[in-house]
Chain A
Amino acid sequence: MHQTFSFLLVPFLASLVLLVITSYFGIHVIKREIIFIDIALAQVAAMGGIIEVFIENKLHNIAAFTISPHFSEIISYNFSLLFCLIAAIIFTYLRNPRIRVPIEAFIGITYAVATTATVIILDKGAGGDVHLHDVMTGTLLWTTWRGLFRLILIVSIIGVFHFMFRKHFIELTEIYHDKTKRLKQYRKWDFLFYFTFGIIIIEAIRIGGILTIFAFLIIPASFSALFAKEWSRRIYLALCAGILSACTGLYLSLKLDVNSSPVIIILMGILLVAGFFIKKLIFIRPDHKSL
């Protein structure tokens, strides 16, 4: 019993840290209706990494130029960041009353182009191999202390930044779909939102995988929308729902010997459906009109 708990301690702490930040970002994501942003940014970051490998291989072929693996990893990370930065700039500029296409459409197209471009680059010989499933579900159970500390560091920096300027970020998200508002004065905050979000996504996906982070963002935040309207209460509710699912999920996955991420996701789904019916049954008078 004691062993089980010590084994689950790191993955549990990692889920906890992830949930703290995704519960907050998830509300932004749902209110802005940019649901698939995590998948798109993840793919863009992956494309950045693949392009770095491609360039490195070309350099190696031309000039017999080799980079140490450690250094290469750092460059690769920077390439991912650079591509997220470009994506952030594009999404910021395309949020404009003149563009009557929802931003989610651009997110989708970015996702499709980034994925297929990666396939083309790999075809043309980046030499690497994409492990789609690992990227999809991640390996939450195998999180190391080192990985955990790195995650805590980045989540704290971005978290503190968002907490300090929460007024701007929340105000922007609240008026995000207001077609009459000129968003020009908010552009700086919009850009900072997408960029900081990108940094979190790159980091979170290393630990949890694309699908897990996607679920962490969307499902707890949807659950909280059932019972609360204020941001602070929603974050709190989302966090509770997330932690409950993560705890049970990690334990079950260990006991049943299955992959942890799908179990946690399905538990979150069950909790959401249960919450929906509880609300229908108990709260007859809906206390909030719409989103």
Chain B
Amino acid sequence: MIENLLFLATPFAAVVILAGILSYFGTHILSRGIIFIDIAIAQIAALGTMIGLLLGYPEESFQVQLISYTFTLLVITLFALTKSRKPFIPQEAVIGIIYCLGLALALLLAEKIPGGSNYITKTITGNILWVTWGKVLKCFLLFSAIGIIHLLFGKTFKNISLNNQNTNNLIREKAYDLLFYLTFGIVIVKSVLIGGIFLVFILLIAPAATSTLFTGNWRGRIIWSWIIGIAGSIIGILLSYSLDISNGPAIVCLLGLFVFVLAFIRLMLPNSISE
């Protein structure tokens, strides 16, 4: 038993860190209504990796990572800057188009790279059991740095997310938005490498959605998201261990079904919510 716990200590630490940062970002993402942004970012990052490979650099080399990051951040910058006050299509549709074009290009490039089809969906399955303490520490340091940025500018980010900024200074707003999306992009690319697309997606959306069902208060939403995200991940790993199923899917199903159950409970409760 002790050995098992020691074996699970690293994945536990990893999910706690992931849930910590993703649940916070999830509250923003949900308020902005750009639910699928992480899947689009992961797809663009995968496309970036493929471009690196196509240029002849070996897989997992520094150059490939650099190209992947640069490419991803470039697309995110474009996305952040093209946001307009009166959009002709919703931002989620823009994300859909980015995702779809990214995947289509990846499929075309895959034919040009030997064994290329492995990279298209490489990021879909991550396995949190294979994470090492070194990676956990690196993530922790990186996410802490991003956390500090968000502590400093949290209020402005919140106002932009909730769409109640009172300044008419568009350039200032765009600059903050860009900072938000760049930090978010780095977090997503890093976490998808550890947990895979679906785990990251569910940690972003499910805890934030659950807490939003019951409270309208920003701080309350974030705190409850943390509790639900961290508790859900730990219970998920324990469940996966005792039922002998993979841990990522176990966490995803657990947290996902939890949202639906609570949503239907919410429907039955009288309509009174603290704002």
Contact = CB atoms under 8 A, between A and B. Distances in A.
Interface of A: 30, 33, 35-36, 90, 93-94, 96-102, 104-110, 112-113, 115-117, 119-120, 123-124, 132-133, 136-137, 211, 214-215, 218-219, 222, 225-226, 258-259, 261-263, 265-266, 269, 272, 286, 288-291
Given A101-B212, A116-B249, A108 B35 contact: yes
Q: Specify which of B108, B117, B198 lies most central, judged by the most chain A CB atoms within 10 Å of its CB.
A: B108
A259 B263 contact: no
A184 B100 CA distance: 34
Q: Ordered nearest first, which 10 A-B pairs have the shortest CB separation?
A: A116-B249, A113-B256, A262-B104, A265-B104, A116-B252, A35-B96, A262-B107, A269-B101, A101-B209, A108-B35
B89 interface: yes
Nearest to B111: A258
B252 to A, nearest CB: 4
Contact of B267 (A93, A222, A266, A290): A93
Does more than half of chain A's interface fall in helix, strand or loop, or is it mixed? helix
Given A98-B271, A218-B100, A290 B205 contact: no
20 contacts: A93-B267, A98-B266, A99-B213, A101-B213, A102-B30, A102-B35, A105-B205, A109-B206, A109-B256, A113-B252, A123-B245, A211-B104, A215-B100, A258-B108, A261-B104, A262-B104, A265-B104, A269-B97, A290-B88, A291-B89
B7 interface: no
Contact of B88 (A90, A98, A104, A225): A225
Contacts of B107: 133, 136-137, 211, 259, 261-262
The residue in B96, B121, B245 that gathers the most chain A C-beta atoms within 10 A of its C-beta is: B96
Contacts of B250: 120
Contact of A30 (B89, B103, B104, B249): B89
Contacts of B198: 112, 115-116
Nearest to A267: B104
Interface in B104-124: 104-105, 107-108, 111, 117, 120-121
Contact of B97 (A124, A137, A222): A222
Nearest to B92: A35
Contacts of B95: 35
